Amino acid sequence: MAAVRALVGSRLAAASAFASLSPGGRTPSQRAAIHLSAPHPAAKVALVLSGCGVYDGTEIHEASAILVHLSRGGAEVQIFAPDVPQMHVIDHTKGQPSESESRNVLTESARIARGKITDLAKLSAANHDAAIFPGGFGAAKNLLCCIAPVLAAKVLRGVEVTVGHEQEEGGKWPYAGTAEAIKALGAKHFVKEVAEAHVDQKNKVVTTPAFMCEAALHHIHDGIGAMVRKVLELTGK
């Protein structure tokens, strides 16, 4: 599951020019505008990771899909993770803790970031238009003890989010009970399909079900794409 909040409003810029009218009726700047357009500023997005691996860190497919869609959307991305020990290390072949191992969240997240990563303590909202939190159990274990949409519900009273459906439907939505946990925190849950995203316009929060649903990977990828597009729209970039 992945959740997004736009942290900062769009930045404003202004410019002025002075010129006399030409015989053709247009100022030089007006004539130039026919041929040239001002460069569109890139949205500055912080991607916050919580390790590397679904059971003890960030869900790798979600993080990768987010990066692909942000790249396609022309965003400027900076990746962050906390410089703290993981809650524990899971042997992903067994789904059980590996008692003899200890790993660092920042170090593990650097695997996904290809080494280009910054300590989360240095993240400043003033430098970014949005922040994205991919899912994975690391969001619960290594960040704020809750999965990504629940993180938003804990921080913002009355926020609107989605984790997909509210019934398991024969195992298609195995984590459907999370919707009730979200409601218990005073948030509003909206039912969405795996390839959809929900936008809370008031709080500027976007969520998508992702791996809350047992679905083909390309459907999850499409849902994350919908989420990223909505986030970039909210930034106004």
- Which domains can be identified in the chain, with CATH numbers? 44-235 (3.40.50.880)
Mean pLDDT calculated for residue range 45-74: 96
For 149, the token pair is 């949409």
Quick one: what percent of the chain has pLDDT higher than 90? 72
pLDDT score of 208? 96
Mean pLDDT calculated for residue range 77-91: 95
Per-residue model confidence as pLDDT tens digits over 136-146: 988 889 887 56
* pTM (two decimals): 0.82
Extended beta strands in 6-93, E state = 44-48, 76-81, 90-91
pLDDT score of 156? 86
| Three-class SS state of 43 | coil
State yes or no: is 52 an active-site residue.
Answer: no
CA distances from 159 to 5, 190, 192 (A): 11, 11, 16
CA distances from 198 to 2, 187, 206, 207 (A): 11, 13, 6, 5
Per-residue model confidence as pLDDT tens digits over 147-185: 667 778 888 889 999 999 999 999 999 999 999 999 999
30-39, 69-78, 84-93, 177-186 — which is least confidently predicted?
30-39
Active-site residue (options: 52, 145, 146, 213) = 146
Q: Using alpha carbons only, what angle is made at residue 48 by residues 43 and 52, rounded to the nearest 5 degrees? A: 135
Quick one: what percent of the chain has pLDDT higher than 70? 81
Tell whether the model's pLDDT for residue 5 goes beyond 60: no
13-17, 98-102, 191-195 — which is least confidently predicted?
13-17
The DSSP symbol for 191 reads: E
